[in-house]
Chains A and B, each alone.
Chain A
Amino acid sequence: MSQRADLVELLSGKSSILLDFDGPVCSIFSNHPAPDVATSLRGVIAATGLPIPADIETERDPLEVLKWSATLDRPALVRQVEAHLCAEEITAARTATPTPFGRETIIGAFEAGKSIAIVSNNSAGAIRAYLSRQRLTRYKLPVSGRTYARPDLMKPNPEPILAAAKLANAIPADCVLIGDSLADIDGAHAAGVAVIGYANRPEKLDRFTDAHPDVVITSMVEVANALVELRI
């Protein structure tokens, strides 16, 4: 069967689409680089006088810095880092670049009669800021974002995915998640949710293969096109 037929079949069997945010919807840090945000989070930690290990010193992903801060048994510090990251994400959302066909996927999901929810390791506030800026507020998309100061609950933990399914009024078996990271694929498996791996960079193709998503796509146009076919 062709890739397109696979996608149409997968999507036609599901009532709800759970959409990862950074990747399928937009590139949140496209104009407010993630490494800069990671550096500014390290500044928050360094201000407390805590030593920062070498691997965290060079970490480019702010979410990894947040995760590490949660290993120190310093709850107040985690909340401080979290608050800082939330603020940075909202700033980033203001200049985030929309993913081609991300919007068409959202509109197409409605046109195909599917419910839709966003499930992300980013903060819900930043996601709502983006949706508002893009005039998508009217669709009242439910958002399952990062639990405040609990980075252990981020994907691949299935919790936010299960929460998103609930927000979309669906049981996990009726949902399909679209995400661009291994955490999405592993989390979806753990939640019992079908998953479409969006390999938005070529090197992800190999990595995804071993994680066994139901379908792999390289552009959101593939999902958007499949949803056009399923339009009611």
Chain B
Amino acid sequence: MSDALDYLGELDPDDPKQASQQIADRVRAAILTGKLAPGDKLPSQPDLAAHYGVARETVKRALDPLRAERLIVTRQGSGAFVRAKTQRAVELRPHIEAAFEKPHVSIDFAGFSGETLASAISEALDKIRIGELTPETISIRVLISDMTVPMALPARAETSADDPIIRARAERITRRAADGILDQVRELGELGLVRSVSAEVRVHSAAPLFKLYFLNNEEAFFGFYPVVERNVVIKGEPVAIYDLMGKDVPLFHYSTKDDEASTGAQFVEAARAWFESVWNSIAREYAE
């Protein structure tokens, strides 16, 4: 089949992923590689459905995660567009995938929810399931804010204070990500695909202000969460909240292998010490 949408690829019938997920991957790739530029209008849902030979509902489902990743925006009545700001200073996914190429995989995360991590590792785990990647051991630790206790952030903007209904919403997000990571990693162990797996989540009472990833104890990625005010809909009503902005923020990359003149190795070491200190002190067990 050849048409104007060739650049969006075709579905792979041998790929165990659902059609919607495959479509999301193809469109995401088209955006990240610049085939669809910021501001470009996406092909219409009927066109996409015809191109991939799927139901329109499947296309609709495929676009949902792209909207959540803020790669696209939908304008009422005029369709979906590539967001103006798709810059991601350091793209984490390829680094996570590369980390899984090693026999012993170790990933630590500290931050709000691990949502990005959850989606990034799901791709790597898919490759393990189909035998493309074959690590022997996987160890993942997730250190996140405990949204069941009062927090400085997220907060109700009007009062700049903690609000249980806003935290409950945040807790659903953190829980979904944390549980997703735990389930996926454990499943690999149960299936016997990886000799040894461990995944642990711990929580603490400090508000999330930055995110930090460690890959195989060699690389660290650090990003600030700026505080943004925005409306979220809770129980059918908009609520202005002070929220942390995790997506679209630049991630800074440090490595123990950076040349000696740089501070990369020192950063990784200090960040590592910070992580261990919190993990082994004020962090507590996550109630699954």
Contact = CB atoms under 8 A, between A and B. Distances in A.
Most buried by A among B76, B157, B158, B238: B238
Contacts of B75: 232
A136 to B, nearest CB: 9
Nearest to B241: A107
Contacts of B237: 101, 221, 224-225
Contacts of A232: 73, 75
Nearest to B83: A232
Contact of A228 (B157, B229, B231): B231
Contacts of B158: 98, 103, 134
Contacts of B238: 101, 104, 108, 221, 224-225, 227-228
Contact of B240 (A12, A103, A230): A103
Contacts of B165: none
B230 A111 contact: yes
The B interface is mostly helix, strand or loop, or mixed, namely strand
Interface in A208-232: 221, 224-225, 227-232
A232 to B, nearest CB: 6
B76 A104 contact: no
A230 B73 CA distance: 12
Interface of A is mostly: helix
Interface string B124-161: 00000000000000000000000000000000011010
A140 interface: no
Contacts of B160: 135
Contacts of A101: 237-238
A12 B76 contact: yes
A198 to B, nearest CB: 16
A107 B230 CA distance: 6
Contact of B239 (A104, A106, A227): A104
B233 interface: yes
A232 B230 CA distance: 13
A111 B75 CA distance: 12
Interface string A78-110: 000000000000000000001001011011100
Interface centre among B160, B233, B240 (most CB of A within 10 A): B240
A108 B76 contact: no
A12 to B, nearest CB: 7
A134 B240 CA distance: 12
Contacts of B231: 104, 107-108, 111, 224, 227-228, 231
A135 B73 contact: no
Nearest to A135: B160
A103 B237 CA distance: 13
Interface of B: 73, 75-76, 157-158, 160, 229-231, 233, 237-240
9 contacts: A101-B237, A103-B240, A107-B157, A107-B229, A107-B230, A111-B231, A135-B157, A224-B238, A227-B238
Given A104-B238, A221-B237, A224-B238, 20 more contacts: A12-B76, A103-B240, A104-B239, A104-B240, A106-B240, A108-B231, A108-B238, A111-B231, A134-B158, A135-B157, A135-B160, A224-B231, A225-B238, A227-B238, A228-B231, A228-B233, A229-B76, A230-B76, A232-B73, A232-B75
Interface of A: 12, 98, 101, 103-104, 106-108, 111, 134-135, 221, 224-225, 227-232
